[in-house]
Amino acid sequence: MKVIVINGGAGGARALELGRWSRAVVSLCCLGLPLGMVGLGYFMAQAGQPTARDVSLDSMQDELDSQHQAVADLRASAQRKLQALTLTVTELEARMVRLDAMGQRLTSLAGLDSGEFDFSRNPALGGPLTDGAAGELKEPSLNSEMQDLERRMVDRKQQLDVLQSLLLNRQLADDSYLSGRPVKKGWMSSPFGRRKDPFTGQSAWHEGVDFAGSKGADVVAVAAGVVTWSGDRYGYGEMVEVSHGGGYTTRYAHNQENKVKVGDLVKKGQVVAQMGSSGRSTGPHVHYEVYKHGRAVDPASYIHRSPR
């Protein structure tokens, strides 16, 4: 293989004869240079792109950041709930204090033994130590405070339920206690017992007392009870009968108008009728009778009773 070298300055040219090894080296140089340039460009391009390892690390970092934010949000939410729960416990404690004060006041007003109803201390608890309860003592926590508050609430509810029952029974007994007059205004015009009959002039037995007054004046129940009669009754005219329990019944007769009906619950002092002169009567008055276990008794002893 010949290679001609031209000298531009002198204008001459030389011919070089290349052997077999020289030709191989020249050919390798001519082919290898472009391939090397291509390979170099490829490797440079690869160096500019992230590797799979780099992508995996970035993804893990993003996941860690996301989890860290989630934990922070969860911690903040738990803190807010804890603050709200603490505030609720504080409010319940304040209500418990007011409840205890009210319980002590009711116990004092009712004149009950303070040893039986004690709203000033926590409920007394006890019992043998079980295997499951053995362990180290722990500092009080919000959960233990709530459990203690719940025990106190249960104890106070039980005491208040019993106290309410006692007070209601006492109130019922006081309300059904016969005392006072069946009228707000008026005077006793005829006593209990034997008297002259106002129509015949003959001696007759009078099973009640009469209170005279103005027509239409209020007639009131002398105790709480249930109305067992309201309407016209022979000789009584318009009459109201009230059962008070314990074997006691009262009657209010000669009314102008009855204000209650059978089955009504009446309170002590409630208006049950208006004074009139219906039935066997000579003028406006109320005929008042008291029955004890079905037998008429003198109302005077109940009229002059002091109310409870």
pLDDT-derived band at 201 (thresholds 50, 70, 90) equals: confident
Provide the CATH number for the domain formed by 187-303 in this structure: 2.70.70.10
Q: What is this structure's pTM?
A: 0.52
For 40-105, give the secondary structure using H, E and C. HHHHHHHHCCCCHHHHHHHHHHHHHHHHHHHHHHHHHHHHHHHHHHHHHHHHHHHHHHHHHHHHHH
Q: What is the pLDDT of residue 219?
A: 97
Q: State residue 172's pLDDT score.
A: 66
Collect all residues with Cβ–Cβ distance below 8 Å to 94 and sequence separation of at least 6.
none
pLDDT tens-digit map of 110-122: 666 655 555 556 5
pLDDT over 90 at 273, yes or no? yes
Percent of the chain whose predicted confidence (pLDDT) is above 70:
61
CA pair distance 256, 308, nearest whole angstrom: 31
| Mean pLDDT, the chain, whole residue set | 77
Reported as a single tens digit per residue, the pLDDT across 205-261 is 999 999 999 999 999 999 999 999 999 999 999 999 999 988 899 999 999 999 999
Is the pLDDT assigned to residue 45 strictly greater than 80?
no
Higher pLDDT, 96 or 214: 214
What the block records as the tokens of 308 is: 């409870």
Contact yes or no for 291/257 (Cβ under 8 A): no
DSSP-assigned letter for residue 275: E
CA distances in angstroms from 274 to 210, 244, 266, listed in the order given: 14, 21, 15
Q: Give the pLDDT score at 137.
A: 47
**pLDDT value of position 43:** 63
Segments in the chain forming alpha helices (H): 20-47, 52-110, 142-175, 300-303
Annotated domain spans of the chain: 2-47, 72-120+144-175, 187-303
Q: Report pLDDT for 18.
A: 57
Selected residue with higher pLDDT from 75 and 308: 75
- For residue 168, give both structure tokens: 């209601």
- What is the distance between the terminal CA atoms of the chain, rounded to a whole angstrom? 146
Q: What is the pLDDT of residue 68?
A: 78
